[in-house]
Amino acid sequence: MVDRLPSGVEIKGEITPEFAEILTHGALALVARLHRSFEYRRQEMLAQREQIAKQFDLGLRPDFLKYTASIREADWKIGKLPKDLQCRRVEITGPVERKMVINALNSGADSFMADFEDSNTPNWHNQIQGQINMRDAIRGTIELNQNGKIYKLKDKVATLLVRPRGWHLDEKHVLVNGRRVSGGIFDMALYLYHNANALLEKGSGPYFYLPKIESHQEARLWNDIMSMAEAELGLARGTIKATVLIETITAAFEMDEILYELREHSAGLNAGRWDYIFSCIKKFKVDQEFCLADRSKVTMTAPFLRAYALLLLKTCHRRNAPAIGGMSALIPIKNDPEKNAIAMQGIINDKKRDATDGYDGGWVAHPGLVEAAMKEFVAVLGDKPNQIEKQRPDVNVSAQDLLDFQPETPITEAGLRMNINVGIHYLGSWLAGNGCVPIHNLMEDAATAEISRSQVWQWIRSHKGKLEGGTKITAELVRDLIPQELEKVKASVAAGGVTALGTYDRAAKIFELMSTSRNFEEFLTLPLYEEID
């Protein structure tokens, strides 16, 4: 047990002896200090999001901000990058589960983004055990004995970055003065308190990925939190570095401003494509002229995604900031050489495009993809750690380019069924504690599940939401298909050895509600979080 909780702090989750090593008085005092200083501003940011969402529903179209034009036009750079953040050709990502952490750090990737967010179910056990795994990995002591096989770290491992939860997520097990704390502040504070000095002693530092940011004001809030944390822990200003995921349509119009707000703490931007697609659907959900085709048809060559990717690249390199490409959801397919060859070629094409465009690195979701992705970046970069010197004066992206939402067709019955199937399968796994799930030879996380349910919701309401042949997608059609897809999901997971299938029944009900109800839930993880321990 924790010897003594800081004043005003309550813990609603179990505190095992091992968890108590993370939930120390000092660590929780830092959480409480940051909560009391910044919770009001976080709530203001969330309220601002709601207001902007309402404006989008009334027809608002985003544009580059007039009052920040001087920032976009001025010649400034981000702060100097630490040596181990200068070479990020391949970054592997995954949840903070112990085996994944070991395998990812050993994978041969330059960096590993350990994820407390979209690929992780944020139950109490996962969050605190994840912190234990981070502590042990940084000190080189992390090991796992699984079925007689010993997993431990190699001598050379990837640089560690951590993604805390986004602004919308609370940590319901920790209260300060009776109020839930921010999940993101909780994740960051515990990690910093226990690991910042150990990382610096190793010649590295505390590095983060910041998710779901919608404006430069939200970036400013993160910057102020990091500055206060540095002061509280006696760290030099700018010790903490953070890469921002540009995964909302509003943030795409404020990339310069986001880098500027974080410039002393900035480690660049990442093209978080899946959440970005979800953000576009969410923001334009009631626009009768907005409609995207089957998810599989919306690739990085689509006009709006191509414009976004090139603008991010140009913006970053102008500011001496790394530009990191996003995630292809493809994964190796072990038992089908023909399908595996197609998947591997998809990965190669994705990384080749990023490297040729000028990106400094890109993401993969599986250790088996690191080598193929690395070859594409090395083919362009050679021995150079990055290609920040590659400016793109030829790139000129307008607001209209970012809003050129194509393709609109085809929408197929197979695509509709796939969205339903993936949504049920993922939600069922998430409720069971696993937030990173291979489904139909793709690695799915909360972002891709969000696309599945938001597309169905939007297709029902758009006059363009018609299947090939002209059949209108309706709530009744979706309700008819859900039981059929639920049975397929259950058969699939049972074949994989899963015996507890109750979460999938619950997932089907949740998916039906979220995709057919009148109101659109901002994030599917918000109501789901209330159902887990």
pLDDT at 497: 87
Q: What is the DSSP letter of 367?
A: G
Let me know if 3 is a catalytic residue.
no
* 2 band by pLDDT with thresholds 50, 70 and 90: low
Q: Give the pLDDT confidence of 53-94 residue by residue, as tens digits.
A: 999 999 999 999 999 999 999 999 999 999 999 999 999 999
pLDDT at 496: 87
* Residue given tokens 């036009």 in the structure block: 73
pLDDT at 443: 92
For 112, the token pair is: 């590993």
Question: Residue 531, SS3?
Answer: coil
CA 94 – CA 130 distance, rounded (Å): 12
Q: Give the pLDDT confidence of 395-412 residue by residue, as tens digits.
A: 999 999 999 999 999 999
- pLDDT at residue 1 tops 60: no
97 burial type by CB count under 10 A (0-12 exposed, 13-18 middle, 19+ buried): buried
Q: What percentage of the chain has pLDDT greater than the value 90?
A: 96
**In contact, 255 and 311? CB cutoff 8 Å:** yes
Mean pLDDT confidence for 508-520:
95
DSSP string, 267-300: EEEEE-HHHHHHHHHHHTTT-TT-----GGG--T
- pLDDT at residue 5 tops 60: yes
- pLDDT at residue 450 tops 90: yes
* 335 band by pLDDT with thresholds 50, 70 and 90: confident
pLDDT at 3: 62
Mean pLDDT confidence for 119-144:
98
Does the predicted TM-score (pTM) go above 0.95?
A: yes
Question: Residue 78, SS3?
Answer: coil
Let me know if 163 is a catalytic residue.
yes
CA 230 – CA 381 distance, rounded (Å): 34
Mean pLDDT confidence for 231-248:
98
Q: What angle do CA 198, 202, 207 make, to 5 degrees?
A: 70
- pLDDT at residue 290 tops 90: yes
Average pLDDT, the chain: 96
Which listed residue (135, 163, 273, 453) is catalytic? Answer: 163
Mean pLDDT confidence for 374-402:
97
Q: What is the DSSP letter of 263?
A: T
Which listed residue (49, 350, 445, 453) is catalytic? Answer: 445
pLDDT at 498: 84
pLDDT at 297: 96
Q: What is the DSSP letter of 459?
A: H
Residues 6+ apart with CB under 8 A from 86: 322, 385, 386
Q: What is the signed CA dihedral for 23, 26, 27, 33, rounded to 10 degrees?
A: 130
CA 162 – CA 156 distance, rounded (Å): 19
Compute CA distances 431 → 44, 508, 525, whole Å: 30, 12, 10
CA 267 – CA 80 distance, rounded (Å): 9
* Residue given tokens 């019955």 in the structure block: 413
